[in-house]
Amino acid sequence: MISNPQYLDEFIGQQTDAIHLRLLQSFRAICRQAHVPESEFAANLRQKMDEILAETSHEDFGSDNQ
């Protein structure tokens, strides 16, 4: 279904947090694609959360062997 885009756009425009914006932009992109079932929306956000986690910089101090 085509939805009224006005309110989601307005809500996104009010956000400043980087993680919020990444999640919101991802959601906006998929929910405005044609033929995407609503059940995919949550899966898409979950995937985005995984990506954000994976991108978190990991400090590498080598192996645990003393």
Partner 1 sequence: MKILDLTISDFRGFGRNEKPLKLDSDLVLFYGSNGYGKSSIAEAIEWLFYGATKRRQLGDSYSKVEYAGTYANVHRKHPTEVSARVRMSDGHEYTLTRRLPLNAKDEVSQLFIDGTPKDFATIGLNPAETVYPVVTQHSLQTFIHTRPKERRDAISAALGLEEVTQLKSALDGARRSFNLTPPTEVTAARAHLKGFAVILSTIPETTAVAARWNQTPVRVDHKQDVAALERAAQKLSGKSPPTRAGLLDALREARRDASKSVFDTNKISPAPIAEAALSRLSNGAQPTREILDKVADETAQTVAITTAAYSTELLAFWETGLRLAPEGERCPMCEALTLTMRQRKIIQGRVAAQQRVVEANTRLKAAIGRAVTALEAIEQTIPSTTVGSPSQAEWETLSRLMAGIESTLEGFRAVHLTQATSGRELEDEIRAALSRMRTLTQDLANPAKGTQAAQDVIRIPASVLVALEKHIATAKAYRIAWDEFFRVVAERIATNSLIGQIDTVGKALKAASSISILAAFDSILDSSKILMQRTETYLQKKQTEMLKQRGKEVQDLYDRLNPGASVGFEGMEPASDQIRLNARSFGVRMSAAANLSQCQLNCLGLAVWIMRATTPESPFGFIVLDDPIQSMDDDHCEAFMDSVLPYLMDDHGKQIILLSHVKDIIDRTAALNVTRAIKVYHFEKYEKSGPVITEQVKLAKLLSEIRAYADGNESHRAIAVDRLRVLIEQFVRELHLKIVGTPAAPEYDNVAASDLLKLFRQIPGTSPDECARLKDTVGFTDPAHHSEVGYTVPQKTNIQPHIQRLETLMRKYGLIS
Q: For residue 37, what are the CA distances in angstroms to 46, 51, 54, 57, 64?
A: 15, 22, 26, 33, 45
Nearest distance from C-beta of residue 46 to partner 1, angstroms:
4
Is 64 among the residues that bind partner 1 (CB under 8 A)?
yes
Per CB under 8 A, does 46 bind partner 1?
yes
Residues lying near partner 1 in the complex (CB under 8 A)? 1-8, 11, 14-15, 17, 19-20, 23-24, 27-28, 31, 35, 38, 41-46, 48-50, 52-54, 56-64, 66
